Amino acid sequence: MTRTWTPGTADDALSTIAATSRLVVALDFDGTASPLVLDPMSARALPEVAVQVERLAALPDTFVAYVSGRSMHDLKIITEHDEDSVVALAGSHGAQYWFPGAGDEDAPGAATEEGAREALWAAAQPIVDRYDGVGLEPKTFGMGIHTRRATPEAEAAAFAEIDALVAERFPQWRRRSGHRVLEFSSRAEGKDTAMAVLRDHFGATGILFAGDDVTDEDAMQVLGPDDLGVRVGPGETAAGVRVDTPQDIAALLEALATERAAGRE
């Protein structure tokens, strides 16, 4: 059962995760740390979220990561990342990582066939160009088709053509759909993989993961009894807690940081 958390109220599950020995706070970016925006590359974390991320990352035995479907290159841009950051990154749905003190690491797995993604981009671009408000996002292991500026009719038509193209050319690639986006990847990793990698890397005794989209449910479904999933916005979810907006995520992170800091005094 998922319950709605209201900012300013106490919550037993939040208190429990705040007290875990080694905590990982893993946040989806688009729609969670940042509001959804029309231009995907203009997304930035809300200032109030960024403040709490820094506050949490400064606490003992507390580790923060952004977990996104974005390629690592784009994720570093939108998170305003620098090489001195104390915030870890998991990109491409768990196929790419950057860790403080270690740098970039790719998850083991088969490389994309040489030239395959470029061929797909070239074949998809004329389809995208036929529909107003539809855009193509090249990714390290595939592509995303964004329709935030498009009408529902244009979205449906463009997605149908793209689906047919990929089914013909790369039927084995993984398909994902989300809020006004359709993605294809030559890699099979999902955010469930990211949870396992982050847990192992940091030796976490508990993970708080927050996300807003269908792809985030891969992570929600592998969280254990010592973890906490937080869903942002509507939709079916395996998360224990729901909040309405990214602004509420900032409030939840503030409550988490306050409780965790108090427990370590």
How many domains is the chain partitioned into structurally?
A: 2
pLDDT of 6 > 80? The answer is yes
Q: Which range marks the domain in which residue 105 is found?
A: 3-109+190-263
- Alpha helices (H) along 38-148: 47-57, 72-78, 116-129
How confident is the model over 230-244, as a mean pLDDT? 97
pLDDT of residue 110: 64
pLDDT category of residue 112 using cuts at 50, 70 and 90: confident
pLDDT of residue 265: 60
Last residue of a domain, one of 185, 209, 231: 185
Task: For residues 12 and 102, state if they share a domain.
Answer: yes
Share of the chain above pLDDT 90, in %: 93
The secondary structure of residue 36, as a DSSP letter, is: -
Dump pLDDT digits (tens) for 247-265: 999 999 999 999 999 976 6
Task: For residues 64 and 194, state if they share a domain.
Answer: yes
Task: For residues 7 and 85, state if they share a domain.
Answer: yes
pLDDT of residue 111: 66
Find the CATH number of the domain harbouring 57.
3.40.50.1000
pLDDT of 58 > 70? The answer is yes
Residue 246 and residue 252 in contact, taking contact as beta carbons nearer than 8 Å: no
Q: What is the dihedral angle through the alpha carbons of 248, 192, 197, 257, rounded to the nearest 10 degrees?
A: 20
Task: For residues 60 and 102, state if they share a domain.
Answer: yes
Task: For residues 101 and 133, state if they share a domain.
Answer: no
pLDDT category of residue 108 using cuts at 50, 70 and 90: confident
Question: What is the C-alpha separation between 153 and 212, in angstroms, rounded?
Answer: 24
Last residue of a domain, one of 185, 204, 235: 185
Q: In whole angstroms, how far apart are CA 5 and each of 31, 112, 163?
A: 17, 42, 38
Task: For residues 123 and 103, state if they share a domain.
Answer: no
Among residues 91, 88, 87, 89, the alpha carbon closest in space to that of 69 is found at 91
Residue 173 and residue 184 in contact, taking contact as beta carbons nearer than 8 Å: yes
Residue 36 and residue 179 in contact, taking contact as beta carbons nearer than 8 Å: yes
Task: For residues 60 and 47, state if they share a domain.
Answer: yes
Task: For residues 100 and 220, state if they share a domain.
Answer: yes
Task: For residues 181 and 196, state if they share a domain.
Answer: no
Dump pLDDT digits (tens) for 17-37: 999 999 999 999 999 999 999
How confident is the model over 228-235, as a mean pLDDT? 97
pLDDT of 245 > 70? The answer is yes
The average confidence (pLDDT) of the chain is 95
Task: For residues 179 and 244, state if they share a domain.
Answer: no
Last residue of a domain, one of 166, 185, 204: 185
b/e per residue, 108-138, with b = 16+ CB within 10 A?
A: eeeebeeebbeebbeebeebbeebeebbbbb
pLDDT of 12 > 90? The answer is yes
How close are the terminal C-alpha atoms of the chain, in Å? 33
For residue 167, count CB atoms less than 10 angstroms from its CB and return exposed for 0-12, middle for 13-18, buried for 19 or more. exposed
Output the pTM of the full model: 0.89
How confident is the model over 51-72, as a mean pLDDT? 97
Dump pLDDT digits (tens) for 156-193: 999 999 999 999 999 999 999 988 999 999 998 999 99
Task: For residues 206 and 102, state if they share a domain.
Answer: yes
